Amino acid sequence: KCEVVVCPTFVCLDAVKKAVEGTNIKLGAQNMHFEEKGAFTGEIAPRMLEAMNIDYVIIGHSERREYFNETDETCNKKVKAAFAHNLTPILCCGETLEQRENGTTNDVIKAQITADLEGLTKEQAEKVVIAYEPIWAIGTGKTATSDQAN
């Protein structure tokens, strides 16, 4: 089974939604906050995405983890909020070059996924889309082989 999911910036979601209407292309958001309500200026509430009938949301992208200090605990809260609002999480995981060279890739990824999916039901965990995002390959000109990605 293969689905095509497009995840444009938030301000483009509505326009892209109209553009893919009547196709099999699914729509996702690039980010979402986990809180239901409160003063979180600039954040996108899960209920906003649900109201727009968005299908997917990216959680745990390396840029969010690095520049916004998002942790596995934060990602776990986002995954749970996504399910509470009928969104399918696309959970990003990956290792740094140092972790790869130390041979800890599998341990790092297993720890990320385990922490990020903590407290989910088996049915929920099976619905999470795992996106392998090797941090060491981003912007370096190095690419992961298909064997490394699998």
- The residues spanned by each domain of the chain are 1-29, 70-150
Question: Pick the catalytic residue: 33, 61, 73, 123?
Answer: 61
Active-site residue flag, 33: no
Catalytic residue from among 70, 85, 95, 133: 133
Residue among 119, 122, 92, 121 at smallest CA distance from 108? 92
| Tens of pLDDT, residues 36-95 | 888 899 899 999 999 999 999 999 999 999 999 999 999 999 999 999 999 999 999 999
The DSSP secondary structure of 32-79, one letter per residue, reads ----SSS--TT---HHHHHHTT--EEEES-HHHHHHS---HHHHHHHH
Q: pLDDT digits over 96-112, tens only?
A: 888 988 999 999 999 99
Active site residue 133: yes
For residue 91, the cross-strand partners are: 59, 130
pTM, two decimals, is 0.90
